[in-house]
Amino acid sequence: MPDRSPRLREALLAAAFTADGLLDLLGAPAYAALARSETVPALRATRGASPLDTLVRLFLLQRPVPHERARAALPLAECMEDGWVVRAGDEVRAAVDVRPYSGPEGQDWYIVSDLGCSVGGAGGIGSREEGVVLGVGGASATLAGITVRTPVASVLDIGTGSGIQALHASQHAGRVTATDLNPRALEFTRLTLALSGAPAADLRLGSLYEPVGTEKYDLIVSNPPFVISPGARLTYRDGGMGGDDLCRTLVQQTGDRLNEGGYAHFLANWQHVEGEEWQNRLSSWVPYGCDAWIVQREVQDVTQYAELWLRDSGDHRTDPAEYAARYDAWLDEFEARRTRSVGFGWITLRKSAAAAAGNPSVVIEEWPHAVEQPLGPAVQAHFARQDYLREQDDAALLAGRFALAAEVVQEQVGLPGAEDPEHVVLRQNRGMRRATKVDAVGAGFAGVCDGTLPAGRILDAIAQLMNEDPVLLRDRTPQAIRLLVEEGFLEPVGSAE
C-alpha cells in the first residue's frame, strides 16, 4: 500500500497542529500542564470547533470527537483505513498518540506512540502492558541533546521505541538503522519518521547488537531499558538481564561496532555495590580501543529507586498488599546483589587510534548540576581536549598558548567585608557549566590567557609579581593547567616557544 502519511502530515500542518500552534492555542500554563500529563487546562482551552481544537482533543487529550469534526480536520477515510483513528458510533477516537515535537532547527516533527503514554505525569504511564511503546520522556531528550551531531554516513539506534533518536539522526546521517526487541516499536518508528517527513530507516528486530551482526557504524545511540529491577515486566524499561548487566553488555559490545573516530552515546544505570568503587565498576565496562567519558548525574538509594519505578508503572495505585509485595521484591533483589544505591548517567565512547595503541582517555566523574543542552558540541570538545592533553608533556604544555573559554567568570568567595577572598572560583556559563576552585596563581594565569603569550612566560611574569621562584612555579603549575584545559576553562590555541 502506498504511504499516505504525507497527506496526514499536510492536514496536521494546515491546522497548525505543531509545537508553536499548540502553545498559541493552549497558552503557556495549559501547555506546561500537558507536559505534566495534566489534561484539564487543555480541555478547557479546546472548547472551540477549529480543526486544531479537534486534533488536540483527538490525539493529545485522547477524547472522542464528533465524526463531522474529525472529517473537517483530517483525510478521515484514509486515517481510518491506515489505523490512525477508529470509529466509535458517531464519534472518532485516536488509535495512537501523535505529539507535535519541535526539531533542533524548528522542524515540525511528530512522535507517534501508544495511547496514554505521555511520560512525566504524576500518575505513572497509564498502561502496564508489557509491550507498551512510550513517547518522548526526559531521558529521550537528554540523550538527543548529548549526542555529537556531525554529518556521518551511518547511525545505529538501539531500542528505538517511538523513533525519536532515529528521527534526530536522520538529519545528519546518510543512513539510519533502528532496532528494537519489540516489533510494535519498529512500527511506531516507521510512523514517526514518515509523519515527520524524514527519510525511512532500516528497521531491524532483535536484542542489542544481534540484528546488526558485525556491521560497523559512525555513531551509535541508545536509551536502553536500563532499569535495575527484580524481573522483566515492561519491555521499555526492564532489560530482562540481572542487575546492570544489560547496560554493561551494551557498552562492552560497542568497541567492535564503531568505525574509527565514531561516537557511541548511552544512558545507563549502574549499581553501587558494597565494598566496590562505582568508578572501578564502570571503567571495567569500557571496551578495548575506545576512549570514554562517563558522567554520573544522580545517585538514589535503593528505596528511592524502587519507589521511583513503582510509581512509574502506576503500582502505587494498586492494592496496598500488592504494592508492598512488589516493593519487597525490589529490596530483596538489591540485597542479593549487595547493592546500596544506583547511579544514573551518561556514557560516551569514542573509538580512537590512541586508545587502540593502549593509551585510552577514560574520564569518570560525578556532575549532578545543571548543564546547557544541547551538550553535543561540548562532548565533542571534551574529546578534542583529551587528544591534545594526551600529546603534551609538561614542557610542551608550558610552551603552549591558551585562551580563556567564552563566558567564564570569576567569583570571589569569603566573608563579607574581608579584605582578601578565601578562595576564587572560575565558573562556566556554557556547556557543562562547571565551577572550579583556583588559587591566586590559577586565577591570575586564567585572567591573562588570551592566546598571545605562552603559558611558561605568563608564569614567569606571575612569579615576578608574587615574589616566587619562577623555576618552582613552572614545576608545580602544569598539573593545574592540565585540569583547567581538561575541564574546558582554557582552550589550547597553539604553541610558540
Ligand X SMILES: C[S@@+](CC[C@H](N)C(=O)[O-])C[C@H]1O[C@@H](n2cnc3c(N)ncnc32)[C@H](O)[C@@H]1O
The reply to whether 264 sits near ligand X by the rule CB under 6 A is no
3-state SS assignment for residue 15: coil
Return the range that interacts with ligand X (CB under 6 A); candidates 76-84, 221-229, 398-406, 478-486. 221-229
Using the rule CB under 6 A, which residue among 64, 161, 374, 478 binds ligand X? 161
Q: Which stretch binds ligand X (CB under 6 A): 86-94, 157-165, 168-176, 370-378?
A: 157-165
Instruction: Decide if 380 contacts 150 (C-beta within 8 A).
Output: yes
Q: Is 165 in the site for ligand X (CB under 6 A)?
A: yes
Phi and psi dihedrals of 155, rounded to 5? -130, 140
Q: CB 184 → ligand X: shortest distance, Å?
A: 8
What minimum distance in Å lies between the beta carbon of 74 and ligand X? 26
State which residue, 170 or 386, has the beta carbon closest to ligand X: 170
CB 424 within 8 A of CB 434: no
Query: What is the separation, in whole angstroms, between the first and last Cα of the chain?
Result: 69
Residue corresponding to grid cell 549499581: 271
Q: Which of 177, 182, 254, 296 forms a contact with ligand X (CB under 6 A)?
A: 182
Sheet with 490-495, side-by-side order of all strands: 450-454, 400-404, 490-495
Kindly state whether residue 160 participates in binding ligand X, applying the rule CB under 6 A. Answer: yes
Strand partners, 408: 428
Stretch of 77-85, 173-181, 309-317, 398-406 contacting ligand X, by CB under 6 A: 173-181
Binding residues for ligand X, rule CB under 6 A, total 22
Helix-helix angle 376-391:478-486, to 10 degrees: 150
- For ligand X, the closer of residues 179 and 352 by Cβ is 179
How many residues are present in the chain? Answer: 497
CB of 114 to ligand X, least distance (A): 11
For residues 79 and 77, what is the distance between their CA atoms, to the nearest angstrom? 5
Q: Return phi, psi of residue 265, to 5°.
A: -120, 130
Question: Does 159 sit near ligand X (CB under 6 A)?
Answer: yes
Cβ atoms within 10 Å of 394's Cβ, excluding its own: 15
Please report how close the Cβ of residue 225 comes to ligand X at its closest, in angstroms: 4
Residues 122-141 contacting ligand X, CB under 6 A = 140
Take residue 381 and report the three cell numbers written for it: 570538545
Contacting residue, 224, 374, 431, 454, with ligand X by CB under 6 A:
224
Part in contact with ligand X (CB under 6 A); list of ranges 92-100, 223-231, 297-305, 452-460: 223-231
227 sits near ligand X (criterion: CB under 6 A): no
Q: Can you tell me which residue has the cell 499516505?
A: 4
How does strand 173-180 pair with strand 152-158? parallel
> Does the protein bind ligand X through residue 185 (CB under 6 A)?
yes
Q: How many CB atoms lie within 10 A of CB 128?
A: 13
In the complex with ligand X, the residue whose CB is nearer, 225 or 289, is 225
Chosen residue from 17, 110, 236, 263 binding ligand X by CB under 6 A: 236
Q: Would you tell me the crossing angle of helices 19-26 and 28-35 to the nearest 10 degrees?
A: 120
Question: Is residue 207 close enough to count as binding ligand X by CB under 6 A?
Answer: yes
Q: Which stretch binds ligand X (CB under 6 A): 5-13, 76-84, 175-183, 420-428?
A: 175-183
CB of 206 to ligand X, least distance (A): 7
Residue 277: how many other CB atoms lie within 10 Å: 11
Interface residues toward ligand X, by CB under 6 A: 140, 143, 158-161, 164-165, 179-182, 185, 207-208, 223-225, 235-237, 239
